[in-house]
């Protein structure tokens, strides 16, 4: 899966699925304010969305997760199995069930998530509209595949390899992961195949809309044998545990090898930033670290992976063919900081072999 250019002068054809007429009309108004975007259909339940996708073949679908007749999660599974198209989940963040279901939808093949707009002024309406339009323009260029989970079959026998003398010198004690668009599905594919006694801690920065991290953590925790939780300031890093950076703050490792949460200003638009985490991992763990960069837009994580590489640690990047968007990994590779460029299905086998 990879991004490819939109045809010149074409309009992006969008189907809006939500059981609330008010939300449907608001999303349509926001999207059609962009002359590049046209609404080709609306659906008030998941079954109708599945049928309209097959008939209208839109470039992108916005999908609520809680709808009658067929919910959004089941609708996404059907769409990805039979009429694959990029799906942007637009969900409420009012309770953990909504955010967990949104994370499940990302695991089923949706490419991104954002909270339902609740503008309180015209200026806020316009700001949210610009954010939504930008997401739609980007995500409509993502090429998705039929049966996305079929690509996540374990190929451990191919990836398990004997440890070399250099590997033994680099006995890894921490894995740090950077991911963005398409990342939740990739994270689930990797973490679900790791054993409960995995002998290293795992730290993750996942770019996701504010309010959805808690649901992501809950969903990942329910689908793997490792304990998954949000990072908390001062927490020790424990082998066999996954800590995900919380919303709106940077996560680092301290010289005492504990979690630190810091509210510093950096040039990157991302908060939490993968570079901030990975650079701290390189400084503290050196050649005991493994850096992993997965699917995503932009370049966050590239300099951090390079820092881990330069300090003697292992570095791994997800390859282009298995990425939803290849930008982050590509930037890291171009910087010369990546030791292994491999398909998603190979990453957990490599982790088992080197940790």
Q: 233-267, pLDDT tens digit by residue?
A: 999 999 999 999 999 999 999 999 999 999 988 77
Q: Which domain holds residue 111?
A: 12-148
Residues 107 and 207 in one domain: no
2 in a domain, yes or no?
A: no
Residue 252: which CATH number? Answer: 3.40.50.180
Residues 326 and 348 in one domain: yes
pLDDT category of residue 95 using cuts at 50, 70 and 90: low
Residue 341, H or E segment: strand 340-342
Q: In this structure, what token pair is assigned to residue 352?
A: 């088992």
207 in a domain, yes or no?
A: yes
Residues 206 and 332 in one domain: yes
pLDDT at 323: 92
* Residue labelled with tokens 């992006």: 12
pLDDT at 156: 38
7 in a domain, yes or no?
A: no
Residues 162 and 135 in one domain: no
Residues 205 and 258 in one domain: yes
- In this predicted structure, the answer to whether residue 8 has a pLDDT above a threshold of 60 is no
Q: CA-to-CA distance for 76 and 308, rounded, in angstroms?
A: 37
- In this predicted structure, the answer to whether residue 148 has a pLDDT above a threshold of 80 is no
Residue 90 CB contacts under 8 Å (≥ 6 apart), including other chains: 18, 23, 27, 62, 63, 64, 113, 114, 115, 116, 117
Per the structure, the count of domains in the chain is 2
3 in a domain, yes or no?
A: no
Q: CA-to-CA distance for 69 and 303, rounded, in angstroms?
A: 47
Q: CA-to-CA distance for 128 and 119, rounded, in angstroms?
A: 8
pLDDT category of residue 154 using cuts at 50, 70 and 90: very low
Q: What's the rounded mean pLDDT across residues 312-324? A: 94
- In this predicted structure, the answer to whether residue 346 has a pLDDT above a threshold of 80 is yes
**3-class SS at 326?**
coil
Q: CA-to-CA distance for 349 and 342, rounded, in angstroms?
A: 11
Residues 136 and 216 in one domain: no
1 in a domain, yes or no?
A: no
Instruction: Look at 9-13, 25-29, 53-57 and tell me which has the smallest mean pLDDT.
Output: 9-13
114 in a domain, yes or no?
A: yes
The answer to whether the CB of 322 falls within 8 A of the CB of 343 is yes
162 in a domain, yes or no?
A: yes
Residue 132: which CATH number? Answer: 3.40.50.2300
pLDDT category of residue 155 using cuts at 50, 70 and 90: very low
Residues 131 and 174 in one domain: no
Residues 257 and 233 in one domain: yes
**3-class SS at 293?**
strand
| Residues identified as active-site | 180, 207, 300
39 in a domain, yes or no?
A: yes
Residues 85 and 195 in one domain: no
Decide: residue 256, CB within 10 A, 0-12 exposed, 13-18 middle, 19+ buried. exposed
Q: CA-to-CA distance for 54 and 58, rounded, in angstroms?
A: 9
Q: CA-to-CA distance for 315 and 303, rounded, in angstroms?
A: 12
Q: 278-287, pLDDT tens digit by residue?
A: 999 999 999 9
Hey, how many other C-beta atoms are within 10 angstroms of the C-beta on 151?
15
Residues 135 and 165 in one domain: no
Phi, psi (5° rounding) for residue 268?
-65, 145
> Domain ends where: 128, 148, 168?
148
Q: CA-to-CA distance for 16 and 1, rounded, in angstroms?
A: 23
Residues 243 and 333 in one domain: yes
For the full predicted model, state whether its pTM sits above 0.75.
Answer: yes
Q: CA-to-CA distance for 286 and 307, rounded, in angstroms?
A: 9
Instruction: Calculate the alpha carbon distances from 61 to 22, 29, 42, 90, 277 in Å.
Output: 17, 15, 10, 10, 33
pLDDT category of residue 143 using cuts at 50, 70 and 90: confident
Q: CA-to-CA distance for 188 and 186, rounded, in angstroms?
A: 5
Residue 188 CB contacts under 8 Å (≥ 6 apart), including other chains: 107, 219, 220, 223, 224
pLDDT at 149: 42
């Amino acid at each position: 899966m990879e991004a490819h250019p939109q045809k010149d002068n074409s309009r992006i054809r969008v189907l809006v699925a939500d059981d609330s007429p008010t939300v449907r009309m608001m999303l349509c108004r926001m999207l059609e304010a962009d002359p590049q975007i046209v609404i080709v259909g609306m659906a008030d339940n998941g079954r109708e969305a599945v049928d309209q996708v097959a008939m209208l073949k839109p470039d992108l679908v916005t999908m609520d997760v809680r709808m009658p007749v067929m919910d959004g999660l089941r609708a996404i599974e059907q769409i990805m199995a039979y009429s694959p198209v990029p799906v942007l989940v637009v969900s409420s963040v009012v309770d953990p069930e909504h955010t967990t279901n949104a994370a499940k939808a990302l695991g089923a093949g949706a490419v991104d998530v954002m909270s339902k707009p609740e503008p309180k002024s015209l200026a806020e309406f316009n700001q949210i509209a610009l954010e939504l339009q930008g997401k739609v323009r980007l995500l409509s260029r993502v090429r998705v595949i039929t049966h996305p989970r079929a690509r996540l079959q374990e190929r451990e026998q191919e990836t398990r390899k004997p440890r070399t003398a250099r590997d033994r010198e680099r006995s890894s004690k921490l894995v740090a992961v950077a991911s963005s668009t398409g990342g939740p599905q990739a994270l689930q594919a990797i973490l679900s195949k790791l054993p409960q006694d995995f002998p290293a801690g795992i730290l993750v920065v996942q770019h996701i809309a504010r309010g959805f991290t808690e649901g992501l953590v809950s969903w990942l925790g329910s689908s793997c044998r490792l304990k998954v939780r949000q990072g908390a300031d001062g927490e020790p890093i424990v082998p066999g545990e996954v800590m995900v950076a919380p919303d709106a703050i940077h996560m680092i490792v301290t010289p005492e090898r504990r979690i630190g949460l810091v509210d510093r200003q950096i040039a990157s638009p991302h908060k939490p930033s993968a570079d901030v985490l990975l650079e701290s991992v390189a400084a503290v763990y050196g050649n005991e670290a493994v850096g992993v960069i997965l699917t995503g837009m932009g370049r966050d994580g590239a300099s951090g992976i390079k820092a881990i590489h330069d300090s003697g640690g292992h570095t791994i990047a997800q390859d282009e063919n298995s990425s939803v968007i290849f930008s982050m990994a590509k930037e890291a590779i171009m910087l010369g900081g990546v030791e292994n460029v491999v398909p998603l299905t190979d990453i957990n086998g490599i982790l088992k072999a080197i940790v």
